[in-house]
A and B are shown apart, each in its own frame.
Chain A
Amino acid sequence: MSLERFVAELDSFYLDAGTSLASAGDAAAVEVARVEFLGARSGRLKGIQKTLGALGASDKPAAGKRFNEVKEAIAALLSNAQARLIADPSDPATDAIDISLPGIPLRIGRLHPITQTIRRVEEIMGRLGFESVDGPEVEDERHNFEALNIPPEHPARDPLDNFYVATASRGGPLLLRSQTSTVQIRVMECRKPPLRIVSIGRVYRPDTADATHYPMFHQVEGLMIEPGTTMAHLKSVLRYFASSFLGGDVRVRFRPSFFPFTEPSVEVDMEWGGRWIEMGGAGMVDPAVLTAVGYDPNEVSGFAFGLGVERIAARRWGVADIRDFYRNDIRFLEQF
């Protein structure tokens, strides 16, 4: 038997079975049609199935695929016909409902994807004993630079690279914070170790807005200061975080880098979808920072890390343009 003939037989079977099932007016008629077409012993489909063996080996995959498609389609038509008869009882007094009509839409609110990401980070870090802390967005130079070991001649302090408040202030120049490490300084200034905190919030840097940059974004900064803290703790905490956040056993990689407030400093990569993805920066808190807040670097040590929230969120949901996070189009926001 040729493949063409087999398919033609299937098609004619499909047409006949569909017509019979659609015109079946009562349960008995549906049952008659079922036996005729799908009967286990001598139904027409069974007959066609037997001819499958007569096909050439090269035709078998295509024929089998088509056979299964038709079989499933007729099974669906049969259950529709049976459902129609149940929903269409003979008692005309009952109010019939077209159950296929859509329900009255329930409007569900949603948290912004950035908030959802922040909450998830807070939850994971909370399990590791990191407490969420908060601080001002307009900062002085001590907290945004000096205490973070960023001296006046450092390029990061260039007025063109920061949003300085133009209105004069009594306490010296003010600027929109360029990192949430400022909060760590504020916490360390008024608390003593041991300390495990995570500060998450808006930060501001003059970048031209494009698909991967926005002059306002969110940063997660983690800080742990406890006697005996080493880079192994840092790596292990980040690995725990990455595995919890991304799922599975995620590996973490450190590449040496340079930040004024950590030494040693590293870039953190996490393995995501078979690739190393740059997630942020980290390192051991620089002794100068510990000294600046009145800690003794010989007694305590600690680590700090920073991650960009937009970057994580964009990856998690496949957002190609981070400006979408701030357009507030409800068609975008409704999807999270």
Chain B
Amino acid sequence: MIISTSWLNEYVHPGVPMEEVVLRLVMAGLNHESTHSVGLDTAVELEVTSNRPDCLGHIGVAREVSVLFSTPFYIPQLHLTESNEPAVDSISIAIQSPEQCSFYSARVIRGVRVGTSPQWLLDRLATVGIASVNNIVDITNFVMLECGQPLHAFDLAKIDGGIFIRHAFPGEVFEAINHKSYLLENSMCVIADNSGPVALAGVMGGARTEIGSGTTDILLESARFDPLAVRTAARGLALSSPSSHRFERGPDPQSIDWASRRAASLILELAGGVLFRGAVTAGNLPADLPPVTFRPERILQVLGIEVPIERQTAILTSLGLVREFYAVDGGVDGAMRWRIPSWRRDLSREIDLIEEVGRIVGYDTIDENTSIPSKPVERSRRDTLIRRVDGVLVSAGFLEAMTTSVVSESLSRLESPWTDTESLRIAPALLRGADRLRRSLLPSLLVARATNEAAGQTHAELFEVARCFMSSPEPLPVEPLLVSMVCSGTFLRAKGILEAVLSHLGVLTKIVWRPFSSKLFIPGTAAELLIEGERVGVIGSIAKGVLTTCGLTEPTLGFELRLDLLEKPMDIDCPITRPSDFPSVQRDINLVVDERLAWSEIETVIRCEAGPHFESLCVRQVWRDAQRLGEGKKSILVGLVMRSRTGTLSSDEVRETIDRIVSCCVTRCGASLRA
């Protein structure tokens, strides 16, 4: 809402510079957007929240100024001269869609001279940035900007028969005064005559009945349209106007008649003509709002500030509320009843009145050093889990990425380790071409890696913690929390990082690793991770085709873990083991085994059979040599650490442990020992 300073001064004189007025308005809820000079006048743009349609006119803003500066304000008095001829003989009005238009009124003025507006009117409109059209149209705009009620003037001679307010017919075409044609939908409301629409209700008038230089007779519309109907039409046709902006917020119903009479009197004054008697109306104005019960002590209880009752009463009165005195005013509980003015339909409850008192007194009076009692806060299991996961990955040198939850269709089609169901589609698209809720984070991370590669930074090592989305028979989709990672190097490097994560969550020993085949990964280079038979993670070398889809050339490894499924098994509060005080003994053994035998089988056997002095083991080297080892064989160099908790191991105890390990590897794994 752009305010003209000199226009505002017609209604109120706060006696301070405009900057001070603006500052007070800002602190009372009208945000200041800009101030600039237009000729001798100053235009001040204020942001009006959607609950305050009363401030979409100069009078409403003047009322706020008058309240804030405790100074009177003036509303123009109207003196209309009407002819004896009743307007109702000139036009008939029928509301056929009362849900879209609850009240419609029209005045008839005949014999006007359409022409240029006087300078004062041109100046007013210039300041607020409204282009002048002719005196009649300028007056309707002026009155709208004065009181917030939009008006429309039709060329009465061009109206074919009576006026109907109805739903648009599907496919009906309407040519607006901007001389563009619009295809209407049934949900929109039109003002029509026998030949079709003459206005899109509350949005814009039509070209067929617009006021032109040849116009002599005028039908002046002032009505109340349903906010939703107006918004649907304005948004659906991308045709927002100052009028639709106001109707969407609901102007003061009492201003419908005032605006009509105000415009009529200005037309008679500036364009001549004869005003026919009365207004032709259809429908009903909304009932007055019921009075609101207000307990003065609630001010302190809600706002935390003391405001004397006299001041509360003075503020509400100055805002136009009227205190209702009934039998035992004040009653036992001291409550008051206040009647609400028609222009403040946003005030329907006690809390609304409390806010009014608060914003006029000023929120700067609220104390900012009130303490609240302390309260212990526990970190959720999920937050603990996430912090442990990202802690490991950050320690390993990874950068956390943040990618959007919505991806393109081609990315969404890449296989998800978590679901076979289609990805959910959203409308509109989040970003160009991105309208699918992702089912995995890996594709997004691969794209992020590709973006870096394209900028010359190969080897971007990234991770992300976020949700994916899976359609579900439940009312809401399932949103598993995932961590995903992409890196360079070998499978075992990626696995080492993954193991560190799992170990830090205390779940490593609960995991079963199984070869995994998926279009995501190069065949034979991927694993899935299971806990009690349920897949909780996948890891592998990303398949060529997937890299190509993501625009990446560099070989990449990746893993993805279901953090939601790890929340329960996470075991981080287990007691620690005191390290032994005695020295360790380290020995390597070189086992030759069948190529197909997995290391995990050897490890399991050793762990089970090694006896009390075994402490840990590792793989030092795996190698193959058909000539020296034989076809289909591999050699594994295993490092063993032995230690006792009760004393230094003797060489006999060491030998006994090694013998036992070798022997079980030979008998249980078909291994042979290589010297």
Residues of chain A within 8 A of B377, CB atoms compared: 126, 129-131
- B 275-290 to A, binary, CB cutoff 8 A, 1 in contact else 0: 0000000000000000
Q: A112-B400, A164-B427, A255-B363 are in contact. Are A174 and B375 (CB under 8 A)?
A: no
- Among residues of B, the one whose C-beta sits closest to the C-beta of A283 is B355
Is there contact, CB below 8 Å, between A327 and B451? Answer: yes
Cross-chain pair count, CB within 8 angstroms: 241
Residue B401 lies at the interface, judged by CB distance under 8 Å to chain A: yes
Bound Cα distance A75, B471 (Å): 72
The DSSP consensus for interface residues of chain A is mixed
Is there contact, CB below 8 Å, between A215 and B431? Answer: yes
- A 184-209 to B, binary, CB cutoff 8 A, 1 in contact else 0: 00000000001010000010101001
Q: A132-B380, A264-B354 are in contact. Are A110 and B426 (CB under 8 A)?
A: no
Is there contact, CB below 8 Å, between A134 and B380? Answer: yes
Is there contact, CB below 8 Å, between B51 and A258? Answer: yes
Bound Cα distance A112, B402 (Å): 7
Is there contact, CB below 8 Å, between A263 and B374? Answer: no
- Residue among A160, A328, A330 having the largest count of chain B Cβ atoms under 10 Å: A328
Residue B618 lies at the interface, judged by CB distance under 8 Å to chain A: no
Is there contact, CB below 8 Å, between B29 and A330? Answer: no
Bound Cα distance A331, B457 (Å): 8
Residues of chain B within 8 A of A174, CB atoms compared: 476-477
Bound Cα distance A136, B424 (Å): 15
Among B227, B349, B473, B475, the residue within 8 A (CB) of A140 is B475
Residues of chain A within 8 A of B52, CB atoms compared: 258
Q: A126-B377, A155-B248, A326-B403 are in contact. Are A109 and B31 (CB under 8 A)?
A: no
Residue B442 lies at the interface, judged by CB distance under 8 Å to chain A: no
- A 107-135 to B, binary, CB cutoff 8 A, 1 in contact else 0: 11111101100000000001011111110
Is there contact, CB below 8 Å, between B400 and A115? Answer: yes
Bound Cα distance A153, B248 (Å): 10
Among B372, B405, B462, B474, the residue within 8 A (CB) of A137 is B405
Interface 9-mer from B11-19, B213-221, B391-399, B598-606: B391-399
Residues of chain B within 8 A of A109, CB atoms compared: 393-400
A255-272 residues at the B interface, CB under 8 angstroms: 255-258, 263-267
Residue A230 lies at the interface, judged by CB distance under 8 Å to chain B: yes
Is there contact, CB below 8 Å, between B304 and A216? Answer: no
Residue B76 lies at the interface, judged by CB distance under 8 Å to chain A: no
Residues of chain A within 8 A of B363, CB atoms compared: 231, 235, 253-256, 266
Shortest beta-carbon distance, A249 to chain B, in Å? 11
Residues of chain B within 8 A of A140, CB atoms compared: 475-476
Residues of chain B within 8 A of A167, CB atoms compared: 422, 424-425, 471
Is there contact, CB below 8 Å, between A301 and B301? Answer: yes
Residues of chain A within 8 A of B396, CB atoms compared: 109
Is there contact, CB below 8 Å, between A132 and B383? Answer: yes
Is there contact, CB below 8 Å, between B231 and A231? Answer: no
Among B397, B431, B437, B471, the residue within 8 A (CB) of A209 is B431
Bound Cα distance A170, B227 (Å): 30
User: A111-B390, A140-B476, A330-B452 provided; 14 other pairs, C-beta below 8 A?
Assistant: A110-B394, A112-B401, A114-B402, A129-B375, A137-B405, A163-B430, A174-B477, A216-B405, A230-B303, A233-B304, A255-B29, A264-B354, A328-B403, A330-B399
Pairs A–B under 8 Å by Cβ, sample size 20: A137-B467, A137-B469, A176-B426, A194-B375, A209-B431, A216-B404, A216-B430, A233-B304, A239-B368, A255-B26, A257-B29, A264-B354, A266-B363, A284-B302, A287-B349, A301-B301, A328-B452, A331-B455, A331-B457, A333-B399
List A residues at the B interface (Cβ < 8 Å).
106-112, 114-115, 126, 128-134, 136-140, 153, 155, 158-160, 163-167, 169-172, 174-176, 194, 196, 202, 204, 206, 209, 215-216, 224, 226, 228, 230-233, 235-237, 239, 251-258, 263-267, 284, 286-287, 301, 325-331, 333-334
